[in-house]
């Protein structure tokens, strides 16, 4: 497997509020419905400051991907997230 997004994940919302999420469970419990592709005025970063594509739908993580500097997908770990749970 390649490079993965590193927790904590930080989301800066449109209103400037910033929230930090420590795990997949934290994202699912606290981001009921969120899509970084649709919420274009939000910024999502991993612990190393790398851009992340994030989608949570109905309290389930659908997508967590690193994005390179050109906006292209570097790694997707959204296929089978149950294997990532501890």
Write out pLDDT tens, residues 23-55: 999 999 999 899 999 988 999 999 999 999 999
* Per-residue model confidence (pLDDT) at position 84: 43
* Per-residue model confidence (pLDDT) at position 40: 83
Contact 10, 18 (CB under 8 A): yes
- Predicted TM-score of the model (pTM): 0.76
Q: Which residues of 24-50 are buried (b: 16+ CB within 10 A; e: fewer)?
A: beebbeebeebbbeeeeebebbbeeeb
């Amino acid at each position: 497997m390649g490079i993965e997004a590193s927790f904590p994940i930080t989301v800066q919302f449109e209103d400037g509020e910033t929230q930090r999420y420590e795990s997949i469970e934290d994202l699912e419990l606290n981001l009921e419905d969120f899509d970084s592709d649709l919420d274009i005025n939000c910024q999502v970063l991993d612990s190393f400051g790398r851009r992340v594509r994030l989608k949570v739908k109905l309290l389930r993580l659908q997508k967590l991907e690193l994005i390179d500097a050109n906006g292209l997908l570097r790694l997707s770990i959204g296929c089978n997230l149950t294997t990532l749970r501890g």
